[in-house]
Structure 1
Amino acid sequence: MLQPAQRRGLGDEAADRIREEIFAGRFPPGGALREVELAASLEVSRGSVRDGLAILEREGLVQSVWHKGTRVIELTESDIREVYAVRAALDRLAATTAARHAAPEHLAELDRLVRAMAAGREGPAHGLLALDIEFHERIYQAAGNRRLLEAWHAVRSQVYLFQSHRIRLRDEEYRDRLAEEHGELAALIRERDTARLAETAEEHVHSARRALLAGLAGNNAGE
């Protein structure tokens, strides 16, 4: 059951609530999103729901088709490869740029997030994923390139969705590698080792893609 919106009539509030449900898997890939039902659950107008769905469509989380309504995006191999390819290129540039421009407070924040990942290894998966996404957000902020940050924001919600499915399919593998991989990225940024950092940042993304695709293949084989 969706929690009622706290600010009636606001599309961004509706988008926040629906996005949370998508990330949690309660609206599965390919699932229909019906305005009437959403408006009733959120206790807002259909117009507000429509505005919220438009926000989520711009984020790439949902697709609207004329006469067919709005659905959560599918997790196809093609979509996964496209999103992770874009992310790999962006992360490589963000990490190497951050290595040149990061201030001490940026580095301290990355270290704090790595410690939180290690300390929360046995905690809720959604909390670990939030730390994961925040870590990369901090790298983009440290890079100091506004357009690069905007490019990351354009795919961030899709990355979150795909990573949430990766965790559901291969939870233990994600937990085992989270702090170590991000700790390595933080150390290389601190050392300003842009050559190794470029390769490591890309491989970090490609390993996530491989894990998701392997999890999906294993899940499909077991059906």
Structure 2
Amino acid sequence: MIRNLQRTTLRDQCLNALRSAITSGQLPTGHHLVETELAEAFGVSRGTLREAMRRLEQEGLLVAGSRGQLSVRHIEESEIRDIYRVRAALEALAARTLCEQPDRDERIATLEAHVRRMHEVQDNLIEQIETDLNFHRALCELSGNQALLTTWLTLEGPIRISIMHAGLEHALHNMAADRHDLIVCTLAENDAAHIEQVLVEHMDEAARRLMTALEQRAEG
């Protein structure tokens, strides 16, 4: 996670490094970010670091405490349930809309390429996280519904927090490439009702695993 950054687009590099560290659990939920330590570790000014941190606060990855200090956001079980219900509704609508497009085969081919990439990065956690998010973001983008995509993007920060919140084992299961093969195969059937069912079940299973893990952690 910690490394000096090249002297090009420092703010974006700092932003990406922090985002990856949070998404992968290297900076766990509740962790307080210390500007002096992070700025020195990344080899950037505190001003550059603050810009990146403000962006992550807007994305929902960081939250300000009573004294203004930023920490990695903690998500409650009820929030995870709500996030994944909204995801299910958005992505089911995206899939139905994609099926209606005259060039649907080309759009599905784009999603197939995303899934192939998911299969290629099975041994790289950071890449698995990013390819998983890229697939679902692309599904919304390929629907052609800009309002839908904009709404989905507001959830991306909380989605990133939830990915690792319940532990690596559950995160890896939810991001498995074969789970996404099923989505693409069902899209190819051009059956709107069936793809909606598959996506709702996809999100329900992901949320259920996350919430069960949190319950077990609380009991332990």
Q: Please give the range of the TM-score, normalised by the shorter of the 2 chains.
A: 0.7 to 0.9
Once residues 44 and 172 of structure 2 are traced to their aligned partners in structure 1, the CA distance between those partners, rounded to angstroms, is 39
1:26 maps to which residue? 26
1:38 maps to which residue? 38
Following superposition, the deviation at residue 118 of structure 1 comes to: 4.5
- Where structure 1 has 5 or more consecutive residues not aligned to the other structure, the ranges are none
1:187 maps to which residue? 185
Q: 1:107 to 1:167 in 2, by over 3 A?
A: farther
Q: 1:190 to 1:166 in 2, by over 3 A?
A: farther
Q: The residue matched to 1:6 in structure 2 has which SS?
A: coil
Q: Percent identity?
A: 31
Report whether the alignment pairs 1:211 with 2:212.
no
1:144 maps to which residue? 144
- Preserved contact between residue 80 and residue 162 of structure 2 (Cα < 8 Å): yes
Amino acid at match of 1:212: L
2:115 maps to which residue? 114
Amino acid at match of 1:114: V
Following superposition, the deviation at residue 140 of structure 1 comes to: 1.5
Once residues 42 and 119 of structure 1 are traced to their aligned partners in structure 2, the CA distance between those partners, rounded to angstroms, is 29
Q: How many residues align?
A: 219
Report whether the alignment pairs 1:63 with 2:63.
yes
Q: The residue matched to 2:74 in structure 1 has which SS?
A: coil
Q: The residue matched to 1:170 in structure 2 has which SS?
A: helix
Once residues 94 and 130 of structure 1 are traced to their aligned partners in structure 2, the CA distance between those partners, rounded to angstroms, is 20
Report whether the alignment pairs 1:158 with 2:158.
yes
Amino acid at match of 1:25: G
Normalising to structure 2: TM-score of the pair?
0.87
Q: CA RMSD in A?
A: 2.4
Q: The residue matched to 1:36 in structure 2 has which SS?
A: helix
Once residues 8 and 112 of structure 1 are traced to their aligned partners in structure 2, the CA distance between those partners, rounded to angstroms, is 30
Normalising to structure 1: TM-score of the pair?
0.85
Q: 1:44 to 1:84 in 2, by over 3 A?
A: same
Once residues 98 and 25 of structure 2 are traced to their aligned partners in structure 1, the CA distance between those partners, rounded to angstroms, is 33
2:4 maps to which residue? 4
Amino acid at match of 2:111: L
Q: 1:210 to 1:103 in 2, by over 3 A?
A: same
Q: The residue matched to 1:4 in structure 2 has which SS?
A: coil
- Preserved contact between residue 140 and residue 149 of structure 1 (Cα < 8 Å): yes
Following superposition, the deviation at residue 162 of structure 1 comes to: 1.4
- Preserved contact between residue 62 and residue 73 of structure 2 (Cα < 8 Å): yes
Following superposition, the deviation at residue 81 of structure 1 comes to: 2.0
Deviation per CA, 1:79-135, whole angstroms, max 9, x where unpaired? 2123222212211111111121253332122223334445655x2333333332222
Once residues 185 and 160 of structure 1 are traced to their aligned partners in structure 2, the CA distance between those partners, rounded to angstroms, is 21
Amino acid at match of 1:105: E
